[in-house]
C-alpha cells in the first residue's frame, strides 16, 4: 500500500503536509498545500492556504506567505480565516510595518473569533493611539478589557489608564484599572498584577491632588482658616510624588503668603524641625541662623541638595581640623608658655573633632577623616589618637 495520499482527497493532503512540515520537510509540505489549493473551492482551501503561509514564512518567503494568508482570509472560513489574518498582521508587525498591519488586525476583529480578538483589539488601540486618535483607541482598549482575556485585557487596561491619567481623568482610570485587576490571578501573573496595582495607586494620588486643589480653590483666593493649612500641606507634599515639584513650591509659597493661614502653614512646613531634646525644643528658632535656609529648602524641595552642601562643607572643615589634631605637634624644649598654648589648642581641637560622634552620620565622617589622614601622611595605617574618636585622650605626664 502506497504512503502517497490520494491526490483528490484534500483532507489527507492537508494532514500529510502538516506531518511533513513538523518533521522538517517544508518543501514537500508546501507542494502538498499548493495541490490542495489547485483543487479549487474545497472545504480545506483555507486550511491549506494558512498552512502554506506558515511554511513559506518559516522559509523566508514573506511575500509568498502574505499572499497565501490573503487567500485564506478570502475564504471567510471562521477558524482559518482569522488565524490567517492574525498571521498576516504579525508578519507586518515583525517588519515594523505597523500601519500595514492595521487592515489585517481589522480583519481579525471582523471575523469575531474570540481566540484572536483580544490581541487584535489591543494592536488596533495602540495603532490609533500612535496616530493621535484617542477616542478610537479608547474604544478598542475598552473592548479588549471587555473580552475578559487574562493575558491581553490587563495590558489594555494599563495602556488606557496611562492615557487617562495623562489627560487628567483619574476617576475613569481607576474604573478601567479595577476592571483589569479582576482579570488577573495574582499567583500566576504577579508582574501583571503589580503593574496594575501601581497604576491604581497613582490614580488615587491624582484623585487626591485634584481634591486638595479643589479645597484650596483658585490661586489668589483666601484659604479656609480651618482646613486650608492642612490642604496646603497635603497638596504640597503629594505633588512631588507625581514629579510636580514646581507646583508644590508654588503651593507652599501661596500658603505662606496668605496672612489668614501663614502661621499654621509655616508650622506644618516645619513639623519635622523640632529636636528631640526637650531643652533645645524651648529654644527660639530665630537663634538658629540655618533654620530659615532649611525652611526654604523644604518648601522648594531642595533639601537633599542642601544636605549635600552642608555635609561637604563639614567634611572639608572637619578633615582640616582633625588631620592637624592627629599629628599632635610638640613644642620645643624650654618653651613652657608655648607648650601650654599647644596643649590648650590641642584640647580644643580634640573637643571639636569629637562633636559628630553622637550623630548617626558620625562614623561616616570618621571614616572620611581616616582616609584623608592616610593620604596626607602617606601611611597605609596612619596612627590615630588613642581611643579615637569616642574617648578623650589620656593626659600627658
For the chain, what are the domain ranges?
10-165, 217-274+283-301, 304-377
pLDDT at position 284 is 58
DSSP letter for each residue of 181-201:
HHT--TTT-HHHHHHHHHHHH
* The pLDDT value given to residue 390: 66
Q: What is the DSSP letter of 359?
A: S
What is the predicted pLDDT for the residue at 332?
A: 56
pLDDT of residue 387: 65
Rounded Cα distance, 268 and 274, in Å: 11
158 Cα distance to chain centroid: 13
Strands (E), the chain: none
CA atoms within a 13 Å half-sphere pointing along the CA-CB vector of 169: 12
| Joined grid coordinates for residue 154 | 490587563
Q: 34 Cβ partners below 8 Å, 6+ apart?
A: 48, 52
What pTM was estimated for this model as a whole? 0.76
What pLDDT, on the 0 to 100 scale, is given for residue 368?
Answer: 81
pLDDT in tens for each of the 397 residues of the chain? Answer: 445 556 678 999 999 999 999 999 999 999 999 999 999 999 999 999 999 999 999 999 999 999 999 999 999 999 999 999 999 999 999 999 999 999 999 999 999 999 999 999 999 999 999 999 999 999 999 999 999 999 999 999 999 999 999 999 999 999 999 999 999 999 999 999 999 999 999 999 999 999 999 999 888 788 888 899 999 999 999 999 999 999 999 999 999 999 999 999 999 999 888 655 554 445 555 567 788 888 899 999 999 999 998 898 888 888 877 777 766 666 555 555 567 766 777 677 777 777 677 777 778 877 887 787 777 777 777 666 666 676 555 454 4
Q: End-to-end CA distance of the chain, in Å?
A: 116
Give the list of residues 6+ apart from residue 18 with CB closer than 8 angstroms, or none.
29, 51
Residues 71, 77, 83, 87: what is their CA dihedral angle, to the nearest 10 degrees?
10
Residue with cell 510624588: 241
Which residue in this structure is represented by grid cell 514646581? 246
C-alpha torsion angle, residues 265, 266, 269, 270 (rounded to 10): -140
Q: Considering only CA atoms, which of 111, 137, 139 is closest in space to residue 125?
A: 137
Quick one: how far is CA 171 from the chain centroid? Answer: 21
Q: How far is Cα 222 from Cα 225, in angstroms, rounded to an integer?
A: 8
The CATH fold of domain 10-165: 1.25.40
Amino acid at each position: 500500500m502506497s504512503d502517497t495520499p490520494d491526490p483528490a482527497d484534500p483532507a489527507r493532503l492537508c494532514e500529510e503536509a502538516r506531518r511533513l512540515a513538523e518533521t522538517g520537510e517544508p518543501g514537500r509540505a508546501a507542494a502538498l498545500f499548493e495541490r490542495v489549493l489547485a483543487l479549487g473551492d474545497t472545504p480545506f482551501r483555507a486550511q491549506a492556504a494558512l498552512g502554506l503561509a506558515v511554511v513559506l514564512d518559516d522559509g523566508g518567503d514573506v511575500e509568498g506567505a502574505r499572499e497565501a494568508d490573503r487567500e485564506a482570509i478570502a475564504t471567510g472560513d471562521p477558524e482559518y480565516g482569522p488565524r490567517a489574518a492574525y498571521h498576516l498582521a504579525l508578519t507586518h508587525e515583525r517588519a515594523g510595518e505597523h500601519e500595514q498591519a492595521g487592515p489585517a488586525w481589522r480583519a481579525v476583529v471582523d471575523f469575531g473569533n474570540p481566540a484572536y480578538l483580544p490581541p487584535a483589539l489591543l494592536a488596533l488601540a495602540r495603532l490609533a493611539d500612535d496616530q493621535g486618535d484617542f477616542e478610537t483607541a479608547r474604544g478598542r482598549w475598552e473592548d479588549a478589557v471587555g473580552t475578559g482575556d487574562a493575558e491581553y485585557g490587563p495590558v489594555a487596561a494599563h495602556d488606557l489608564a496611562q492615557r487617562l491619567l495623562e489627560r487628567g481623568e483619574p476617576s475613569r482610570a481607576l474604573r478601567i484599572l479595577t476592571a483589569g485587576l479582576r482579570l488577573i490571578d495574582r499567583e500566576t501573573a504577579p508582574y501583571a498584577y503589580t503593574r496594575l496595582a501601581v497604576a491604581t495607586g497613582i490614580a488615587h494620588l491624582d484623585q487626591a491632588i485634584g481634591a486638595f486643589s479643589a479645597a484650596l480653590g483658585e490661586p489668589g483666593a483666601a484659604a479656609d482658616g480651618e482646613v486650608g493649612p492642612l490642604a496646603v500641606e497635603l497638596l504640597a507634599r503629594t505633588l512631588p510624588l507625581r514629579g510636580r515639584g514646581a507646583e508644590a513650591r508654588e503651593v507652599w509659597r501661596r500658603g505662606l503668603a496668605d496672612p489668614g493661614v501663614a502661621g499654621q502653614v509655616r508650622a506644618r512646613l516645619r513639623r519635622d524641625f523640632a529636636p528631640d531634646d526637650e531643652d533645645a525644643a524651648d529654644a527660639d528658632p530665630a537663634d538658629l541662623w540655618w533654620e530659615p535656609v532649611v525652611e526654604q529648602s523644604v518648601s522648594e524641595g531642595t533639601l537633599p541638595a542642601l544636605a549635600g552642601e552642608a555635609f561637604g562643607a563639614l567634611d572639608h572643615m572637619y578633615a582640616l581640623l582633625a588631620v592637624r589634631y592627629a599629628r599632635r605637634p610638640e613644642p620645643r624644649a624650654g618653651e613652657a608658655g608655648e607648650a601650654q598654648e599647644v596643649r590648650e589648642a590641642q584640647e580644643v581641637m580634640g573637643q571639636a573633632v569629637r562633636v559628630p560622634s553622637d550623630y548617626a552620620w558620625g562614623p561616616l565622617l570618621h571614616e572620611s577623616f581616616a582616609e584623608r589622614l592616610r593620604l596626607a601622611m602617606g601611611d597605609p595605617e596612619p596612627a590615630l589618637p588613642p581611643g579615637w574618636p569616642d574617648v578623650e585622650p589620656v593626659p600627658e605626664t
